[in-house]
Structure 1
Amino acid sequence: MSLAFSPVSIGSLRLKNRIVLPPMQQYQGSAEGFAGAYHRDHYARRARGGVGLVIVESTAVAPEGRLMIDDVGLFSEAHVAPLAAVASAVKAAGAPVFVQLCHGGRKAVPHRGGRLLAPSAVAYDDVYGMPEAMSLADIAAAAEAFAMAAKRAVAAGFDGIELHAAHGYLLHQFLSPLSNHREDAYGGGPEGRLRFLAGVICSVRAAVGMSLPVTIRVSASDHAPGGLEPESVAAALRALVPLGLDAIHVSSGGLTPTPPPETGPGYQVRYAEVIRRAVAVPVIAVGQIRTREQVEDILAQGRADLVAIGRPLLIYPDLSRVL
């Protein structure tokens, strides 16, 4: 029997198979952050192809948190209806759908020249420029922005939420000692660096209740000396999961411009394996997983519970042509 096409649950949601379409930016949002017909058709087409779960691309929780000038957002009530059309189309095509909520922090392109915010005044590079260290009021506002966006996601009809704490964006920036140099309650050591993310999870849960699946995407390694490694991320997740996380989506990198030291087929699965040993919720592996043999082997060895397949599904939206 195929493990890839066996059912699995994420929280209260039962999936028909273990193949996930991961969030991938489509660069098709309007200047104001609205989704459109492109997004509706793009995600529904992949749902018709047979995946078990669709995760809509990084969606900004605040105007200053947009990753680029053509991404999408959920930072106002006006953003709900366009994304509701996307969610409805995906579900009609046969797959449940999550939305990934994100704040870019120091890797943002703030809307209309807004503030560039980060845990500390440490730049990602010269292109993004120097961010402002967030005040306590800024931190509280960002947590509230995630909660309000989560509430709007429920109104839009999404089946679950993924919090983006990977690839060098704001939640990741608070976790990593390379980008968080704070000496207050939100820094100073692993417990302090975890505090903002813990607060976001609690705020989101308060906004949406406990039954809606809430997951998180993490970078399990910063690929840089002194940065996060799989064991430290696993320790953080052991503290975070009881706050209300239903699955962990394991990626890596993005905190600094330095690329990973090596890539190749399934190169991030070893990180998922470390995380899976540390937590009691399903783990999603991702990263150059492109063949049926890879997927079945990952699942059979217990290295992950689900597998995300990205670029092949952009080219061939029918799952049968990929696996």
Structure 2
Amino acid sequence: MSLKCFKPKFSFALALCLGLTVSCGSDPASDNPEKETTQETAAEAVSQEDIREVHVARLEEQKNDLDSIQYLVETWNRSLNENNQELMLLVYGTQVQYYKKSMKRTEVIEAKKRALATSLDYEQSIVHLAVHYPSDRPGIICCEFDKAWSAGGKSDTARALLEIKLVNEQYRIVKEGDYATEIVMIKEEKARGLSKGQHHYLYDYWLDTREDEALAHDFVPYYLSVTVNNGGEKPTVDLNWYSGSLRETFGFVTRNVRLDGQYLRFEAAAMMTPDDDEDLDDFQSFTFKLLGDEIALIENDGWFTEMLGIRLWGVKDE
């Protein structure tokens, strides 16, 4: 996927940050149960066309909110650089999936306070920010970025993730993590093997491209699909990747498919033209963990390293 640099458009004067929430609404420090705004949901009998129809309608409603989403992410970033707990109250929801734990907002802030107390020179910056909307979870806004941090003379970069939701007409962070932790969590989950037959899995999202002058659309679709057939003597895999920015679907030749009770492993090479055949040299390896209704990508040595830790959700035949 194509990522683009985040360029703040806002003045973050302290009075503004402490005096205003990201959007109008109730007291952000309240720990009353959150009442979620009504969102359209995809039908249980999933079809790609139905999913996109629902998704496009919802995205149109959010069309003018990209500035608010970016503002929330940058305010979150500033709250950590300044160790500002008042700002933290503004950005988190009352319940947060914080790395491997589900925590209350007050617990998240206390954890941040303890961590920052041991690294007084901690600094971080958002190097790239991509905002996208996953089709399997209407109402969730995913913000992926490279988090460059330094502390105690050390520095590193992690591919980080924030998930945002509109709650009581205010954007709130409901999940914070990174993909290294996501992979650890996936590996710790109990595996569930596949029954005999054909199984379809999909990772489908719309990338917000309103600030990308090279693209003529506000939202661009992408998807990765995996179809596993283990009804015969040997399992087979059909792998496809669609890029909305290139407006092209890439089919893959697959080989060495191995399937056990925990993992799906195979090698694949993109067919750049219809005349490509199995003599292709550019094969890359894939490992997915089997999680029943989902499969999760945990290993790849080619195009999809930025997607490690993502989950593909099961699609039922109509």
TM-score interval (norm. to shorter) = under 0.3
Q: Which has the higher helix share?
A: 1
Q: Which has the higher strand share?
A: 2
Give the alignment's TM-score, normalised by structure 1.
Answer: 0.25
Give the alignment's TM-score, normalised by structure 2.
Answer: 0.26
| Relative contact order higher in (CA < 8 Å, ≥ 6 apart) | 1
Bigger radius of gyration: 2
